[in-house]
Amino acid sequence: MAVLVFLDHESGIIRQASRSAVTAARALGEVHALVTGDASVAEAAARIDGVAKVLRAAGAAAAHELAEPLAAVIADLAPAYSHIVAASGASGKNVLPRAAALLDVQPIPDVVSIVDADTFVRPIYAGSALATVKSSDAKKVLTVRASSFDPAPAEGGAAPIEQVTVPEGPALSEFVSIALSQSERPELESARVIVSGGRGMQNEENFKLLNPLADRLGAAIGASRAAVDAGFVPNDYQVGQTGKIVAPELYIAVGISGAIQHLAGMKDSKIIVAINKDPEAPIFQVADYGLVGDLFDILPQVEAALDKAG
């Protein structure tokens, strides 16, 4: 049987994380992609390498990826599929568990490794442990961690596109508005380098001191929960158990103590650098390179060293 992958998009662009879900799904069978939105989204999905067919749920009910109509569409399509997969982003986590309930299936969230068609590895307790679980459900519903699977190439496929109808139902929820943070920088989940700031940045103004470093490295900017709660940066910057899970080549933590909930989101990064004035800060336990000192002194020095190195 084929595998149904829900690809979520933001402003018409399919998220890179969803292409990672395609890679994960290919290990389980032929991939059919479900998308919402304009025809251009379906066309982009059809070009993804490894997608054999695209199903487009068009129309007002499916717009904005509302959970109620989308879960109903997925439940309608489910009989033809062995597995239903999405990236573990906000959209997949909103929609898939609801669809699973309609199918009387226990979902398997945040899969980091596929053992076989029934058996999956997922982190629990903020990544303090890895559980291998085997599902006895006839159909599997899973979300996968993008940081654990390489994204399928955006180009290379030429899949046919079919329309699917959204089942009629009462309008339970209604879209009002969306406020996306504007940034010229790479997306956190796909960035090669991330510069992340914590409470040690002190305030919104000082947080901007990370920009010159991020500019030099072509980095995305992340933050700890404390920095987001204090209003230094918007919510979508948060890295951690309850924020984004990232695994860049280089993660630079500046003024972040390294609470387990933060580590949960970044400890699979290839190289971790910590800049912190407290030599005992737990972040140093996971850092490959630690620099103890005042970040306000160190940041300009790092920039100067980068400029000198050219």
Partner 1 sequence: MKVLVPVKRVIDFNIKPRVKADGTGVETAGVKMSMNPFDEIAVEEAVRLKEKGIATEVVAVSVGVQQAQDTLRTAMAMGADRAILVLTDVAVEPLGVAKILKALVAKESPDLVLLGKQAIDDDMNATGQMLAGLLGWAQGTFASKIEIADGKATVTREIDGGLETLTLALPAIVTADLRLNEPRYASLPNIMKARKKPLETIAPADLGVDVTPRLTIVSVAEPPARQQGIKVESAADLVARLRNEAKVI
Ligand X SMILES: Cc1cc2nc3c(=O)[nH]c(=O)nc-3n(C[C@H](O)[C@H](O)[C@H](O)COP(=O)(O)OP(=O)(O)OC[C@H]3O[C@@H](n4cnc5c(N)ncnc54)[C@H](O)[C@@H]3O)c2cc1C
CB neighbour list of residue 74: distance below 8 Å, 6 or more residues apart: 4, 6, 34, 84, 95, 96, 99, 102
Our finding on whether 160 is near partner 1 (CB under 8 A) is no
Our finding on whether 101 is near partner 1 (CB under 8 A) is yes
Our finding on whether 226 is near ligand X (CB under 6 A) is yes
Spell out a b/e string for 247-273, using b for 16 or more CB atoms within 10 Å of the CB, else e. Answer: bbebbbbbbbbbbebbbbbbbbbeebb
Report residue 148: phi and psi, to 5°.
-100, -10
Residue in 42, 259, 272, 274 binding ligand X, rule: CB under 6 A: 259
Residue in 1, 40, 60, 125 binding partner 1, rule: CB under 8 A: 125
Our finding on whether 254 is near partner 1 (CB under 8 A) is no
Residue type, 152: A
Distances (CA, A) of 12 to 3, 41, 159, 174: 23, 6, 18, 19
Residue in 79, 158, 168, 172 binding partner 1, rule: CB under 8 A: 172
The tokens describing 184, both together, are 């010229």
Our finding on whether 242 is near ligand X (CB under 6 A) is yes
Our finding on whether 175 is near partner 1 (CB under 8 A) is yes
Is 285 annotated in a binding site? The answer is: no
Distances (CA, A) of 121 to 124, 179, 255: 10, 34, 32
Residue in 17, 22, 281, 302 binding ligand X, rule: CB under 6 A: 281
Cα separation, 50 vs 65, whole angstroms: 23
Report residue 57: phi and psi, to 5°.
-90, 105
Residue in 241, 268, 272, 299 binding ligand X, rule: CB under 6 A: 241
Binding pattern for the stretch 200-219 against ligand X, x by CB under 6 A and - elsewhere = x-------------------
Q: With contacts defined by CB under 8 A, name the span among 30-38, 47-55, 91-99, 195-203 that binds partner 1.
A: 91-99
Q: Distance between alpha carbon 267 and the CA centroid of its chain, in Å?
A: 15
Is 182 annotated in a binding site? The answer is: no
Residue in 21, 31, 48, 67 binding partner 1, rule: CB under 8 A: 67
Our finding on whether 225 is near ligand X (CB under 6 A) is yes
Residue type, 278: D
Our finding on whether 280 is near partner 1 (CB under 8 A) is no
Residue in 238, 246, 269, 284 binding ligand X, rule: CB under 6 A: 238
Return the one option of partner 1, ligand X, none that residue 200 interacts with (CB less than 5 to 8 A, by type). Answer: ligand X
The angle, 0 to 180 degrees and rounded to 10, between the axes of the packed helices 67-77 and 90-102 is 50
Q: List residues binding ligand X (CB under 6 A).
A: 124, 131, 198-200, 224-227, 238-243, 255-257, 259, 261-262, 265, 276-278, 281, 294-296
- Binding-site entries: 199, 224-225, 238-242, 255-262, 276
